[in-house]
Amino acid sequence: MAVFGSPRQALEVLIQNQQREFRIPKPFRELLIDVVLGVVGFREEGSGKAPDVFLMSDLGEIQNRLRGADPIPIGEGPFQSLTVKKALKSCGPLTRDRDWSVYLLLEQSRIRFGIFRNSPSPLHEPSFHRLRTVTEPTTLLIGVQRSGESVVEIRAFGGPVIYFDTSGKKEKRDHPALLIHSVSKAVSRDVPPPLRNKLRRFYEKIMEALFTGPHGCLIAILEAGHPPPELLKDGIHLHPPLDPAQVLSAHLLKKSSETTTALFAYSNLIRNMLETDGVTIFDTRGRIISYHAFVLDPGVSASYLDLTGGARSRAYLRMKTALGSRLYAVLYKSQDGDGEFEAYRASN
């Protein structure tokens, strides 16, 4: 007879197995589970995104560690799950555009909660990404982020991390943090070094927004200077390609209100392209070559795959077979947060 465990039981086991790394007192551990389940179940009309939530014991960590600003207190309550529900209900809708995150300040017998402002700059890493990139340990500081519809990342400052899949899949491919790093590094690979790290950070912020959203996505990355392969000929091709590196270079040179506005506009434009149906095609110099491209099916004349659901996954597998001298890397992200990245490895 099959025995089914609840999501709470599964989370308890995962967190208990990593108790040494997370170092969470038992009352805080129960509260963390309430936060994760609340983020999993968060649904706000008009938005498929859940808020990023940070548990902390020191409000100063918002500025010192997360590089956030302007904490706004919203409410407080006793140290219990009902307060977590109240916090998500009160604060979650205010974070719809991800300019703000939710904080829970944990005290001995009370929880104070509110929101704080994330850095809006396309060149500054998001607060949650700070947890991934900075490794020194600190006081209690744990972030909870939902990717897509069913993957939740639970990360402590200093390295410990848990990925919790609520979809019931037995196997996940690559976790969101690795996918964000891999695709951002690939699209900036051939950018000159003075600009490369800035452009990679620019793309990391875009990809983070992509992976925390409800949309599926396909990305193809060409070797710079090469046209798309035959299977990606059907799309909206840009002549000349869209070149964010030029916009970024102009901003770093002038740092005017006009160049800042342009940087924001290009960031939003690329996000919109990524959320259209089909494949968005980049090259290794960070340029966007095409969008709304479809994978041609060689078995049917002049047709393309409808890139939704399982067809999106099949299109990704077709693109993987074309990796080589022209097509450098491909990325697949499903609606529920599952994903995979593959880059061409030349045999020596």
- Packed helices 7-17 and 26-40: angle between N→C axes, nearest 10 degrees: 130
CB 343, CB 329: distance < 8 Å: yes
Identify the residue with better confidence: 288 or 178. Answer: 288
pLDDT of residue 120: 77
CB 240, CB 289: distance < 8 Å: no
Tell me the pLDDT band of 72, cut-offs 50, 70 and 90. Answer: very high
Asked if pLDDT for residue 2 goes beyond 60, the answer is no
For the entire predicted model, the pTM comes to 0.80
- Residue 25, exposed/middle/buried by CB under 10 A (0-12, 13-18, 19+)? exposed
Tell me the pLDDT band of 171, cut-offs 50, 70 and 90. Answer: low
pLDDT of residue 137: 62
Identify the residue with better confidence: 262 or 129. Answer: 262
CB 153, CB 161: distance < 8 Å: yes
CB 340, CB 174: distance < 8 Å: yes
Asked if pLDDT for residue 193 goes beyond 70, the answer is yes
Per-residue model confidence as pLDDT tens digits over 216-257 = 899 999 999 999 988 898 899 999 999 999 999 999 999 899
Q: Do the strands 141-147 and 151-156 form a parallel or antiparallel pair, or are they unpaired?
A: antiparallel
Tell me the pLDDT band of 7, cut-offs 50, 70 and 90. Answer: confident
pLDDT of residue 44: 65
When the candidates are 1.10.10.10, 3.40.1700.10, 3.50.50.60, 3.40.50.720, the CATH number that belongs to 7-165 is 3.40.1700.10
Tell me the pLDDT band of 1, cut-offs 50, 70 and 90. Answer: very low
Whole-number Å distance between alpha carbons of 246 and 77 = 50
Asked if pLDDT for residue 175 goes beyond 90, the answer is no
Asked if pLDDT for residue 262 goes beyond 60, the answer is yes
CB 218, CB 332: distance < 8 Å: yes
pLDDT of residue 304: 42
Domain boundaries, the chain: 7-165, 176-343
pLDDT of residue 130: 84
**Across 7-21, 45-59, 135-149, 198-212, which has the greatest mean pLDDT?**
198-212
Average pLDDT score, the chain: 85
Q: For residue 97, count other CB atoms closer than 10 A to its CB.
A: 9
Q: What is the CATH number of domain 176-343?
A: 3.40.1700.10
Per-residue model confidence as pLDDT tens digits over 325-340 = 799 999 999 877 778 9
Rounded average pLDDT over 163-177: 70
Per-residue model confidence as pLDDT tens digits over 270-322 = 999 998 999 999 999 999 999 999 997 654 333 444 444 567 888 999 999 99
Rounded average pLDDT over 13-42: 82
Tell me the pLDDT band of 168, cut-offs 50, 70 and 90. Answer: low
**Do the domains 176-343 and 7-165 match in fold?**
yes
Q: For residue 58, count other CB atoms closer than 10 A to its CB.
A: 14
Give the three-class secondary structure for 67. Answer: coil
